[in-house]
Structure 1
C-alpha cells in the first residue's frame, strides 16, 4: 500500500519543486517504509511525482519507478489474481514491466483488465506526453484530483489536504474506468480533456448509454475548463465481475420455505435450510471462494521481520501480521474463522474492537493527573492507568459491539484454542474524538462530508490505529497492534441485503425491487465507502483488505438468484445475509450466526456521543472545523 501523488504545472509561476507540507505529511503516513520524489520537465509542463511505500510483499521497490524511455509509474495496489506474481516478487515492478512493453492504448487496457485486486495508479508515457490514472472497479484504493481554478495546474493524490476555507477542493476520481490526459495538448490549449476508457461487460450491454450517464455525473462538479469524453476508439476495460442475476422465482417466495414454521427457533430454521442438498452445495461453494479470497489477503506478508529465527519461535514473541475490524457480528466472525485456516497457527490474530464512551462522567482526580502527564493521546497509556481505566470505565464502554465482540472472542477461542486471539479493547473518550477528528480525521474523510461519513470515518480510524487494552481474567495490559494488514467485512451488507433499506425496498417492491437495491449498492460502493476507508486506515501505515469484494466472491454471489442470498420474509437476525449465516453455521459458529445487523456507528455508540438529532445524510459541520478556523483567522 502506498501514498502516491502527481502534481502537474502548466506555468512556471505555479511550479513547485516540492509538495505542500501538509499533503506530503499525509502521504508519508500512508507509506512509512520508503519516500521518493521525481521531477519530469518538458517545455510545456512539469510533473512532480511523489510516492511513499508501505512494504508488504517481495523486495522493497521504491517508487516512483522509471524506465530507460522516461516512463514513470506509481502504483497503490495489490495483484491477488489475474496477473502472475510470485511470492518473492513485487507487484509494482511486475505491473511496470507489463506497461513498459505496451505498444498502444489497447495494450494498456488489457493489462488493467487482467488485474484482480484493489488498485489505483498514475502512469506517465513520456514519448506521447500522456498521463494515465484510475482506480479499480470497486474503488478500493483512494485517488483524488484537484484542479487549480485558473487551469494552470492540477494534482492527483491518494489523500488530500486542507489549505484554505474553501470546500471540496479535492474530489474523488470516479471509479468509472481509466482516464488519460494529453499534457502537451492541455498546456497549449489551456483546456483539459479527460479521455475515459469505461468498464464494460463483454456481453451485449450498451456501453454508449452507460458512458453517457457516467459522463454527466463525472462532469457535474468539474471546472469549466475540464471536460470528459469517451475515447475516440470506443475502447473499454473488461469488467472484472459478472452481471447480477436478476431472475425472479416462478412460484411465490413463500413456497421456497413452506416447510419452515415461524414458531421455530432461529437455529433450527438455519438447520432446515442446510438439510436441503442444493442449499448445502451452494454454501460449500461460497465458503470455498471466500476462503480463497481471505487466503490471498493474509499470505505473502513480511512476518516477524525484526525477530531472530530462535526468538520468533518463543511463545508470546510472535506479533500479529493481520488484524480484523471486529464487532463480533456475522461478517467479522466469518472472516476471522477463515483467516484462522490460513495464518500460521503460532501467529496471533488481532481483533480490533472500538467503543465510544456512552456518556461523559466525572473522571477521578488521580486519573486526570495521569492523563495530564501524557504528552500525546496517541501514545499507549501506562499499565497502571490502564488498570484504573478498565476497572472504573468498563461500564461506560460496554457498548453493543463490545458485548458481541467478547462473545465472538469466546466462540473463536472454542473454534481454535491453540490460536492466540488478541481482543484489543479500543476505548475512545469524547475529548480524544474531538481532538483527533479536528487535527487528523477530517482531512481523511473529506471530500465526503456527511454525518455518516464522520461517524464511520472516526470509528474506523480509531479501530485501525489499534491502540487499546488486552483484558484477560488475570491481567490487564496496554497494547498496540502492529499488524500492517487489516481485514474488513465491507461488501457483505451491500451484496446480501444486510441493510434495513433492503428490507424496506423488499416490502414495497418485492424481489424485483430488492434486486435493484442490491445493484445500486454495488454501483455506488466506490463513492460512498471505499475511498474514505482506504484513506482512514492508510493513515496509520496499514492496508485495508476487503475479502467480500474479491472479484471471484462478487462474481459468485452475483450469479446466484437473490432468494439464495437472503430471505426477507424471515425476521431480522436470520433473513438478511442468510447465505452468510448458513456459512457461519457450517464453519462451527453458532451464536454469532444469529445476530441481527447493527451498523458500526450504532454498535460502537459513536452516533450517540454528540448530536442525536442529526440524520446520517446531513452535512456534518464537525468535519469542517479546521477550514472554518482558518477562515476566521485569515
Structure 2
C-alpha cells in the first residue's frame, strides 16, 4: 500500500516545490514507512511526484523510483501472480525494471495485462514526455484526478484533500483502462487530451467497439470542457484478466429444474442434500481450492519475524497479528477466516475486527425477534444459533456495553466460538470496536469525510465510516477473565467484498430474479461487477489506507472471479430458496465442506444495518440520498480540529 501523487503544472505561476499541506498529510497517513518527493521540470511543464510507502514485501523501496533515462515510477499495488516476484524481491522495483525495458506502447499494455493483483500507478516517460496512469480492472486501488485553472494544472493522487474551493473537482479515475497524456503537446495547446487504452473483452469485434465508445462518453461527461478523452489511434487494448460471465440458461424451466429442492426446509440438511450431488460437490471443492489460493497469496505476501521460536504452548507466545479480518460472523468473513487459518503460521494470532455503533434501544433481543417474525425467511436460523444469539444478547443487555449489542456483535461472538472450536490452538483476537455518536461525528469531520469523497450518498457515508472505524482496530478484547484495551497493528486487512456481487447476495437480486428471471439476474450480476470500482473499491481503499494498512479482497482475485464467471448462475445461487440458503449457495456449501455449521445458514445482513450505523443520526434517509454530513466544512475549522485530534 502506498500513497502516490503527481501534480502537473503548465504555467510558471503554478510551479511549486511542495504539495499542499492537507494533501501531503493525507498521503503520508497511507505510507508511514517512507516519504519522498521528486521534481521534474522543463520550459513547458513541471511534474512534482510524491510517494509514501507502507512496506509489506521485499526490501523497503522508497518511491518515486527514477532510472538513468529520467523515467519516474509510482506504484500502489501488489503483484500476486502473472509477473514473477520472488519472496525477497520488491514488486515496485520489479515492475519498474519491466517498464524501463518496454520499447513501445504495446509492451507497456502487455505488461499490465499480465499482472494479477490490485494496482494503481503513475509512470513518466521522459524521452517522449508521456505520463501514463491507471487502475486495475476492478479498481481495487484508489486513484483520483483533479483538473483546475482552465488546463493550467492537474493532479493525480491516491487520496484527495478536503479543500472547499476544489472539493467538487476531485473524481475517481475510471477503471476503464490505462490513460496517457502527452505533456508537451498539452503545454502548447492548453487543453488536456486523455488517450484511453481500454480493457478488451474476449468477444465479437462490434461488442468491443461499443464498449470503448460507451467508456469514452461516460468518462467525458464528468470532466471539464478543456479535458477530452479519445481512443488511442493504434487501437491498442489491455487484455481483460477474467473470463466473460456465463450467461447460459437452463434448457428446462428453472421452476421445473428446482421443483425437487425449492420445498426443502432451510437447515443444514438442505445444504447436505446439495452436496450429495457429485457434480455439485466437485464444483464446491474447486471453488474452495481457488479461493484458498487467493487467501494464501494475500496472507503470506508480507514480512514476518522468522527469528521468533514458537513456545510449546502457542497461547503464551508473544506474537503480534499480521493479518486482520473485517468480521461480522457472517458467511463471507467466516469462510475467509477459516481459509486464513489454514495458511497463517499457527503461532501467529489473527485479529477479528468487529465494529458496533451505539444504539438507542436497550433491548436488542426483542427487536431482533420482532424482525424475525416479520421476515419468515429468517426462520432458517438453526436452533443452536438462535439459542446462542439470545444468550449472547441477554448477557450483553446486562453488561456494561449493552448499547453496543448490535446484530453483528451477536453473530460475531457466535462466529468466534465456531472458529475456536475448529482450531483451539489459534489465538483469535476478537476485537470489539465500540463507536459512540460523539466519536463518529467528530472523526467523520476530521478524518473520514474527504476519504469517502467524491462519493456522497448516505450509503457511502454509512459504509465508509463503518469500515474506517473497523479497520482502525482500536477496541477491546473481552475474555472470561478480563476486559482489556487492544490496538490491532495488523497491516493487512481482509474483507469479503465481492461475494455478494457475484453470488446474488443482495435483496435487490431477489427482486430482479422475481421480476426478470435468471436472464435478468445474470445481467444484474454482470452490472454489479462492472460498477464495483466506482461504487465500492476506491472508497474502501482510501478508508482502510488512511490507517497505514492495506485492504485485500480474496473474492476479487482474478482466478476466483474467472472461476465463478465460468459457472452457470444456478450453480452459484438458487433464489427459489429462502434467505440464508438461496443467496450465495455455493459459498454456503463451501462453508459446510470446511466444517462450518451455524454460520453457513446466516442470511445476508448489510454492514450498515448489522453494525447499526444506518439510521443512527437520521431515520428518514434513503441510502441513495445525498448525504449532508459528507459536505465540505471550512478549512479553518478542519485545521483546528486536526490539531486537537493529533
1:565 aligns to what?
572
Q: State how far apart, in whole Å, the 1-side matches of 2:264 and 2:133 are.
A: 56
- Per the TM alignment, residue 316 of structure 1 is displaced from its structure 2 partner at its CA by 3.7
Secondary structure of the equivalent of 1:412?
Answer: helix
- Per the TM alignment, residue 251 of structure 1 is displaced from its structure 2 partner at its CA by 0.8
| Map 1:351-500 → 2, pairs under 5 A | 351-359=352-360, 393-500=400-507
2:366 aligns to what?
none
Using a 3 Å threshold, how does the CA distance of structure 1 residues 163 and 417 change in structure 2: closer, same or farther? same
1:624 aligns to what?
631
1:285 aligns to what?
286
Indicate yes or no: 2:66 matched with 1:59: no
Q: Is the 8 A contact 2:202 2:244 kept in 1?
A: no
Q: Is the 8 A contact 1:311 1:317 kept in 2?
A: no
Q: State how far apart, in whole Å, the 2-side matches of 1:357 and 1:236 are.
A: 49
Q: Is the 8 A contact 1:165 1:628 kept in 2?
A: no
- What are the superposed Cα offsets for residues 112-132 of structure 1, whole Å, 9 maximum, x if unpaired? 000000000000000000000
Using a 3 Å threshold, how does the CA distance of structure 1 residues 166 and 287 change in structure 2: closer, same or farther? same
Q: Which runs of 5+ in 1 are unaligned?
A: 362-388
- What are the superposed Cα offsets for residues 301-320 of structure 1, whole Å, 9 maximum, x if unpaired? 11248x86689989241000
Q: State how far apart, in whole Å, the 2-side matches of 1:261 and 1:17 are.
A: 66
User: 524-533 or 8-17: which moved more?
Assistant: 8-17
Give the structure-2-normalised TM-score: 0.91
Q: Is the 8 A contact 1:165 1:630 kept in 2?
A: no
Q: Is the 8 A contact 2:459 2:623 kept in 1?
A: yes
User: 215-224 or 173-182: which moved more?
Assistant: 215-224
Secondary structure of the equivalent of 2:233?
Answer: coil
Indicate yes or no: 2:510 matched with 1:503: yes
- What are the superposed Cα offsets for residues 134-161 of structure 1, whole Å, 9 maximum, x if unpaired? 0000000000000013211000000000
Indicate yes or no: 2:587 matched with 1:580: yes
Secondary structure of the equivalent of 2:609?
Answer: helix
Q: Is the 8 A contact 1:8 1:153 kept in 2?
A: yes
- Per the TM alignment, residue 583 of structure 1 is displaced from its structure 2 partner at its CA by 0.3
1:549 aligns to what?
556
Indicate yes or no: 2:90 matched with 1:90: yes
1:42 aligns to what?
42
- Per the TM alignment, residue 242 of structure 1 is displaced from its structure 2 partner at its CA by 0.5
Q: State how far apart, in whole Å, the 1-side matches of 2:165 and 2:445 are.
A: 14
Task: Name the Cα RMSD after superposition.
Answer: 1.9
Q: State how far apart, in whole Å, the 2-side matches of 1:543 and 1:208 are.
A: 36
Secondary structure of the equivalent of 2:228?
Answer: strand
1:230 aligns to what?
231
Q: State how far apart, in whole Å, the 2-side matches of 1:75 and 1:107 are.
A: 18
- What are the superposed Cα offsets for residues 453-509 of structure 1, whole Å, 9 maximum, x if unpaired? 000000000000000000011111000000000000000000000001000000000
Q: Is the 8 A contact 1:304 1:319 kept in 2?
A: no
Q: State how far apart, in whole Å, the 2-side matches of 1:314 and 1:52 are.
A: 36
Secondary structure of the equivalent of 2:342?
Answer: helix
Q: Is the 8 A contact 2:326 2:470 kept in 1?
A: yes
- What are the superposed Cα offsets for residues 400-439 of structure 1, whole Å, 9 maximum, x if unpaired? 0000000000010011111000000000000000000000
Q: Which runs of 5+ in 2 are unaligned?
A: 363-395, 641-646
Using a 3 Å threshold, how does the CA distance of structure 1 residues 76 and 263 change in structure 2: closer, same or farther? closer
Q: Is the 8 A contact 1:149 1:223 kept in 2?
A: no
Q: State how far apart, in whole Å, the 2-side matches of 1:261 and 1:460 are.
A: 36
Q: Is the 8 A contact 1:289 1:552 kept in 2?
A: yes
Using a 3 Å threshold, how does the CA distance of structure 1 residues 627 and 573 change in structure 2: closer, same or farther? farther
Using a 3 Å threshold, how does the CA distance of structure 1 residues 252 and 611 change in structure 2: closer, same or farther? same
Q: State how far apart, in whole Å, the 2-side matches of 1:119 and 1:261 are.
A: 42
Q: Is the 8 A contact 1:353 1:423 kept in 2?
A: yes
- Per the TM alignment, residue 629 of structure 1 is displaced from its structure 2 partner at its CA by 7.9
1:260 aligns to what?
261
Q: State how far apart, in whole Å, the 2-side matches of 1:513 and 1:499 are.
A: 14
Indicate yes or no: 2:605 matched with 1:598: yes
Secondary structure of the equivalent of 2:356?
Answer: strand
1:193 aligns to what?
193
Using a 3 Å threshold, how does the CA distance of structure 1 residues 196 and 275 change in structure 2: closer, same or farther? same
Q: State how far apart, in whole Å, the 2-side matches of 1:197 and 1:211 are.
A: 9
Secondary structure of the equivalent of 1:396?
Answer: helix
Secondary structure of the equivalent of 2:151?
Answer: coil
Q: Is the 8 A contact 1:64 1:73 kept in 2?
A: yes
Q: Is the 8 A contact 2:310 2:317 kept in 1?
A: no
Q: State how far apart, in whole Å, the 2-side matches of 1:294 and 1:610 are.
A: 36
- What are the superposed Cα offsets for residues 541-566 of structure 1, whole Å, 9 maximum, x if unpaired? 00000000000000000000000000
Q: State how far apart, in whole Å, the 1-side matches of 2:66 and 2:636 are.
A: 41
Using a 3 Å threshold, how does the CA distance of structure 1 residues 128 and 412 change in structure 2: closer, same or farther? same
Q: State how far apart, in whole Å, the 1-side matches of 2:407 and 2:361 are.
A: 18
Q: Is the 8 A contact 1:69 1:126 kept in 2?
A: yes
2:19 aligns to what?
19
Secondary structure of the equivalent of 2:351?
Answer: strand
Q: Is the 8 A contact 1:322 1:349 kept in 2?
A: yes
| Map 1:24-423 → 2, pairs under 5 A | 24-205=24-205, 206-260=207-261, 262=263, 264-304=265-305, 315-359=316-360, 393-423=400-430
Q: State how far apart, in whole Å, the 2-side matches of 1:166 and 1:33 are.
A: 29
- Per the TM alignment, residue 164 of structure 1 is displaced from its structure 2 partner at its CA by 1.8
Equivalent residue pairs, number: 604
- Per the TM alignment, residue 256 of structure 1 is displaced from its structure 2 partner at its CA by 3.1
1:383 aligns to what?
none
Using a 3 Å threshold, how does the CA distance of structure 1 residues 505 and 488 change in structure 2: closer, same or farther? same
